[in-house]
Each structure stands twice: as structure tokens, then as C-alpha cells.
Amino acid sequence: MPWQRQPAGLDAPQAGRPFGSHARLRTPLPPGIARPYLASMTNPAPESIAPSLALLEQLAHEAISTLPAPFREPATHILLRIEDFPADEMVEELGLNDPFELTGLYEGIPLTEKSTADQMTRPDVIWLFRRPILDEWAERGNVSIGEMVAHVVIHELAHHFGWSDEDIAHIDPWWE
């Protein structure tokens, strides 16, 4: 008889099933022994999952809730938008070569330039871009994702409120 490949594992024929059937063979394990790989495959640890858009939004709201009292309430009137990447038009308009260069963007009229006579045509918006934020977070490796998001939010709020570098440093120690 000529040499033949002997199927093993998932390729092994199973009783009543054709060769190549991919139904998993279940061999009983001794009592008290679990299949440890199953838990990690079906329920990955939270720190092994890339933070979602919803988590970044939650962290942004938390950053706003910790602002000093005079800024906390006015900051809640700014619309937060969290997207994976900035729109191509934004990247082009800002003269950037790569969407990863933009972690956040303030879109609106800074309070220092607003007049009570101005008609509001659209709300002020702070855009947060998840993938560039995650990229910078991973690159830094020395801050939590919450600190990273708070830093970007505070930077964008600085545009809205017209904060100086000294004002920013008072609110965000990262700037020191």
C-alpha cells in the first residue's frame, strides 16, 4: 500500500461523518480540569479589546464632568461627536497628509469671538477620532485611555473657551 497522509485533529474522519468534516471532537477531560482557552476566546479580558466609540464618548463626558465649576456646565452645551476617523474633507481642509495626525477637532466659534447678537446656525462640536487616539495612546504607553481622551477633550475645549497655555496647565496637568 502506498504512503498516505493520516488525517489528524479536525481533519480526522469521525464516525458517521465524511473525511474533512470540521465538527470538533470532544474528548472528556478529567474532573476538575477546565478548558482554559475557551474562556479567553469567548470572553476576552477587557484590557485586550480596543476601546469602543461608546467608551471614548463615556470617557469624554467624564472628563467634562471633572472640569472646574465655571467651565463644567457651559462645556455640556458643546456637542460631542466620536468617529473612527476624521472625514476626508476635514483632513484635506486642515492640510494634513494622514488622518492619524488628527485626534480631535473643535468646530465652532470660540467664546472669545462670539457676540450676543450672533445667530446660532449650528452647535459647537468637539470631534474625537478613535483610531488616531488609540494609535497615540498605544505609542505613548504611559497613560491610561481615560487620561488620553481627557487630554484631547481639554485641548479642544481650550479652543472653545479661549484658554491660555497656563489655563490649560491648571486644568490638565499633562501640559506641565
Taking a C-beta distance cutoff of 8 angstroms, is the pair 126, 80 a contact? Answer: yes
* Structure confidence at residue 57 (pLDDT): 96
Sign of CA dihedral 137, 138, 141, 145: positive
Topology at the third CATH level for domain 52-110+123-175: Zincin-like (3.30.2010)
* Rounded CA separation 154/71 (Å): 11
Pick from 28-42, 52-66, 82-96: least confident: 28-42
Across the beta sheet with 79-83, the strand order is: 79-83, 125-129, 104-107
* Rounded CA separation 80/97 (Å): 24
What is the rounded average pLDDT of the residues 160-170? 86
What is the rounded average pLDDT of the residues 17-38? 50
* Rounded CA separation 171/103 (Å): 19
Q: How far is CA 165 from CA 120, 159, 169, 176, in A?
A: 28, 11, 6, 9
Cα-to-chain-centroid distance, residue 41: 22
DSSP lists the bridge partners of residue 81 as 127
Read off the pTM: 0.70
Pick from 30-34, 54-58, 89-93, 167-171: least confident: 30-34
pLDDT bin (cut points 50, 70, 90) of residue 50 is: confident
| Cβ count near 51 (within 10 Å) | 19
Element (H, E) at 171: helix 165-171
What is the rounded average pLDDT of the residues 123-151? 94
Per residue in 126-139, is it b (16+ CB within 10 Å) or e — as a string? bbbbbebbbebbee
What is the rounded average pLDDT of the residues 156-161? 93
